[in-house]
Amino acid sequence: MTSNSLEPADDSTRDNALVLVVDDDAMLRAGLGNLFRSVGMEVALFASAAELLEFTIPDVPCCLVLDVRLRGPSGLDLQTRLAQMGVNIPIIFMTGYGDIAMTVAAMKAGAEDFMAKPIRDQDLLDAVSAALDKDRARRLELRQAATLRASYEALTPRETEVMTLAVSGLLNKQIASQIGISEVTVKIHRGQAMRKMRARTFADLVLMAQQLGICKQRL
């Protein structure tokens, strides 16, 4: 019987990053758990794809170290299933039976790395560290995008209208003429939009609009 419980990490794992290990070799699985814990990483161990699929992955940076050949569904099958579920975490495949076709299939499906057993401890630690950094960056980008969208949705309809026209390249007087308000009022709405969007400069506001998809990037 395998353990799905999380092992505590030391203070070096400040963001509670988690390494998920799926391997049906009990000794290897335990060894990997010890390796990752030895450098302060939290780890959860699984003997099969089914066990991982029953586990609730916490909302922290994660990396999956996955054996290709498992009893039951294979590692490639699990990769496909996770993608279907919208679980987007870096996957490092391990295999003692790797071949070109298997490697190509895994990498095309988005695998982060593909390592042939036996794997040097340091090589695996380096790969996992890089994968966790990538997941941290992805999560940060998602949070920033959500914050940006929330700021945009907090604008009034008029502020949204003025911002959209301004970032499209219209001058204040052109905006005023187009929507039937005074140029002074346009300036007020534009200033309010910049404040709510936390844009320090108009160039920042244009970049935010591009990220939101409400104006085309200028060449």
The residue ranges of every structural domain in the chain are 18-144, 154-212
How far is residue 49's CA from residue 45's CA, in Å, rounded to a whole number?
11
Q: Tell whether the model's pLDDT for residue 96 goes beyond 80.
A: no
Q: What is the pLDDT of residues 188-217, one digit of tens each?
A: 999 999 999 999 999 999 999 999 998 754
* The pLDDT of residue 2: 38
Classify domain 154-212 by CATH number: 1.10.10.10
Could you tell me if 48 and 55 are in contact, meaning their C-beta atoms sit under 8 angstroms apart? no
Mean pLDDT on 75-104: 85
Q: Tell whether the model's pLDDT for residue 13 goes beyond 50.
A: no
Mean pLDDT on 133-151: 94
How far is residue 95's CA from residue 68's CA, in Å, rounded to a whole number?
6
* The pLDDT of residue 218: 45
Which tokens go with 194?
């910049």
Q: What mean pLDDT is reported for the chain? A: 87
Q: What is the DSSP letter of 144?
A: H
How far is residue 83's CA from residue 104's CA, in Å, rounded to a whole number?
17
DSSP H stretches of helix in 39-120: 49-53, 75-84, 100-108
- The fold for domain 18-144 equals Rossmann fold (3.40.50)
Biggest alpha carbon–alpha carbon distance for the chain: 75
* The pLDDT of residue 12: 37
pTM of the predicted model as reported, rounded to 2 decimal places: 0.75
* The pLDDT of residue 69: 86
Per CATH, 18-144 and 154-212 having the same topology is answered no
